[in-house]
Amino acid sequence: MENPTKESFVITTKIMKIIGWYPPENKSKLYLVQAYTLYFLFLVVVNVLVTVQMFLKKGYDDFMQVIYIGETIWYAFKLLPFLRGNNRIKNCISYFEGAEFQPQDNREKEILDNSAFLCQVMSKFYIVSIACAEILYAIPALFSNGHHLPMPVWLPYSVTSSSLIYYVTYFYLCIAVVYTGFATSLLDPLIGGLVFQAVSQLKILKHRIQNPQNFLKQKSNTAGIYQKLSECVELHNAILKFVKEYEECFSWTIFNQFLGTTSVLCFICIAIATVPLASVDTIKYTSFFFVVNCQVLFYCYFGTLLYEESDTLVTAIYLSQWYEYPIETQKLLLTLMERSKQPLILSAEKLLDLTLDTFTAILKRSYSLVTILK
């Protein structure tokens, strides 16, 4: 039976290949040159130009520009693991294509189909949203009066000196916006989707534990049941190994997301506190506040799903027909139960747990900050 897991990240891997984040099959190292070149030209250089422009501007008080710089700086750190550890990321994406994760009946196929569908929907939603945002961000400058650029940057030359210079600079900045948008849009659906793949495998594990006889020709074959439950132990070990590999691969990225989000939230709270309540700026800053929080919610939600699914594994074992099995099989289930008593909790650099409790704490502190500043 075909495993639909490999279809979950087709869109993501295609974009990663374009920007040099996904190692090719021919083992060529040219993709690294491509990846670092694009990263430097369209993220590092543009960030430096925007920062210089902000500090050279006399009396700058545009909070959105400060927030933008803060976001992009954290994005630069957030994307580094994708440049340095792309082989590990490739292994994480293809991890669930192993033999132990293959569906064995229609119920398991349905679980994996639903997981793949959700991952594809998340990727498409993020890409479409980013594309629309980039168009709305860049196009108005092109049709406005005068030679305006998509973002305020410091340049060692004048863009008004000729139309050619203006259009070259304009399209360079547009490419930078597209690169930053699509590069960052890959992260959230990929990181959340991989966690959801692990959640789906836990559902399959519980299904196999409670119905081992469904995979046997002879329902009363005790030796066959023991073998199937032994495979369940191996599947559980494989899931635990994936979670460990996942944390080593993405922990720094997630930690930078949390650190960058909390820093940006401080600026947003200050901005909300300094503008009139009934104003367009309040709506703008409040909307951005919710968008930034949604990024954290995304990680925390899928982390909570993994926690809750692993936390019910002990109950699933207890609700199986363990009382009808031989002592040897019962001992096998008891070992698995003891190992499952500690649920899986994802963390960012061992400092922040990816749970809804963490997200709630961030919201409470943000609200308290706005209240105090008001």
Mind listing the pLDDT tens digit for each residue in 304-360?
999 999 989 888 888 888 888 888 888 888 888 888 888 888 888 888 888 888 888
Cβ–Cβ < 8 Å for 306, 344: yes
How far apart are the C-alpha atoms of 280 and 276, rounded to whole Å?
A: 9
What length is written for the chain?
A: 374
Please check the confidence at residue 48 and state whether its pLDDT lies above 90.
no
What integer pLDDT is reported at residue 105 of this predicted model? 83
Q: For 207-249, give the DSSP string.
A: HHHH-GGGG-SSTT-HHHHHHHHHHHHHHHHHHHHHHHHHHHH
What integer pLDDT is reported at residue 69 of this predicted model? 66
Please check the confidence at residue 71 and state whether its pLDDT lies above 80.
no
Quote the mean pLDDT of the chain. 80
Going by C-alpha positions, the residue among 262, 318, 202 that lies closest to residue 74 is: 262
* 364: DSSP letter: H
C-alpha to C-alpha distances, 291 to 72, 120, 221, 288, nearest whole angstrom:
15, 21, 55, 5
